[in-house]
Amino acid sequence: MSSYTTFIGVVSSATPISDGSSTSSVLVGSTTITAVTGNIAIYKASATATAQEFIFDGSKWQFFGDISAQNLGGLAYTSTASGSYVKFKSVNVGTNTVNSTGSFTPSGGVTLTKATSTLAISSTTTDPGAGNTANYWIYQPGGTLSITSGAITSTSGDFLTGVTGRSVASPITTANPTSATVTGGINYTSVIDHNLNLCYLVSSSTGSVSASTSASALKTVTKPTYSGGFTGTKVYVKPLTVTVATAATFTGTAATVSVKSTAQFVNSVTSTTESGTVKVIAST
């Protein structure tokens, strides 16, 4: 304990110390010593008092124990002591290499490489036959085609639907008087070269409208509507079957592994013991 503690001596009653006292400067003999951590001192308050040991912890004294006769123990009254113990005579160590065996199944992952591919699909308008149509996609466009025309423009005008004739005067002519009676004539005279001429103005009646053939005329124009059905050509498309990867599974084969060490390892320890006797002799 000399590396950690130092005995400074017996403290004089002139500088008393006790458990917990913080007096660091004490009188040892005729010398004043300032205690530091680890210093041990003996203090006896009077000639009849029991001497006590104290240790300084850096700030105060701690009671260490007293040194009265009843606290010295059994060896304080004898000069020798003996006892027995068990001692090792020899130790045997066994060594050997280590063998290790086992099995394992390799594991890991599988990476698929994918490439883009363009697939061609063929079609035909030829019926593959009743027994084969189930293997085709069949497409036939159909529906009804309805067409309504726009309005037709036309021109129209007034036209006669019926004619009633009226008698009118025909061109007037002149005629010389004869023994016959002139019907519808008008008598008039004229002098030509000192001659008196007697004449008649004669006219006849005629229809005011001449006859003609009948003709049809445009009366009403309606907008025509066209309607009809539409049937497309039936097409047979052969489906294209493609096999693609949807999952990948890796299965390893179990194998046995055996490992043997190159160095020796302790595998057993044996020892031999015997009883011994120790004797302690106090010296003066």
Q: How many domains does the chain have?
A: 2
Q: How many CB atoms lie within 10 A of CB 3?
A: 6
Any domain includes 130? no
Residue 110 included in any domain: no
Average pLDDT over residues 218-240: 75
- Residue 190 domain-assigned (yes or no): yes
> Do the beta carbons of residue 239 and residue 136 sit within 8 Å?
yes
Positive or negative: CA dihedral 89, 94, 95, 99: negative
Is 85 part of a structural domain of the chain?
Answer: no
In sequence order, what are the beta bridge partners of 85?
276
Q: Is residue 112 part of a domain?
A: no
Q: Which domain holds residue 47?
A: 6-72
Q: What is the pLDDT of residues 115-127, one digit of tens each?
A: 877 777 888 888 8
Q: Is 199 part of a structural domain of the chain? A: yes
Average pLDDT value for residue range 229-250: 79
Domain membership of residue 44 (yes or no) is: yes
Last residue of a domain, one of 41, 56, 72: 72
| pLDDT higher at 175 or 188 | 188
Domain boundary among 23, 49, 72: 72
Residue 216: count other Cβ atoms within 10 Å of its Cβ: 5
Please identify which residue in the block is written with the tokens 């040892």. 28
Identify the CA nearest to 273 among candidates 82, 83, 81, 84.
Answer: 84
**Residue 212 banded pLDDT, cuts 50, 70, 90:** low
Least confident among 82-96, 129-143, 168-182, 222-236: 168-182
Number of residues in the chain = 284
Boundary residue ending a domain (18, 47, 72)? 72
Residue 229 lies inside a defined structural domain of this protein: no
Judge contact between 101 and 257, C-beta under 8 A: yes
